[in-house]
Amino acid sequence: MDRGDLHECEQFYEWNALIGKVRAELEKGTPPESPVVLRLAKRWKELIDMFSAGDPEITKAAERFHAENPNNPLQRSGRGAL
């Protein structure tokens, strides 16, 4: 495994962990303006920017893909869209 593979694995793990945390806050009914949710949203945006290299067209394409494929394997929890 080279450094690039390791970095991808780390990002995959971080995405899964972040999605789990966001889902937990949704299930608890935590308000969107709470510090916890704002911190999670900030990290979500940072990961998206890393993935897209800041290119808004890549971000839009990824959002479109997930909207059109809500049960795709990239959404690991399988509990519906966020």
Q: Which residue has the higher pLDDT, 67 or 34?
A: 34
Overall number of domains in the chain: 1
Percentage of the residues of the chain whose pLDDT score is greater than 70: 79
- H or E stretch covering 2: none
Residue 2 forms part of a structural domain: no
Tokens of 22: 């966001």
Residue 25 forms part of a structural domain: no
Whether 19 and 76 have beta carbons less than 8 Å apart is answered as: yes
- Taking residues 31-43, what's their average pLDDT? 97
Which structural domain, as residue segments, surrounds residue 37? 31-70
Question: What is the per-residue pLDDT for 78?
Answer: 45
Tokens of 41: 């949203």
Can you give the C-alpha Rg of the chain in angstroms? 14
- For residue 14, the SS3 value is helix
Residue 44 forms part of a structural domain: yes
pTM: 0.71
Please report, to the nearest 10 degrees, the dihedral formed by the alpha carbons of residues 69, 53, 44, 18 taken in order: 70
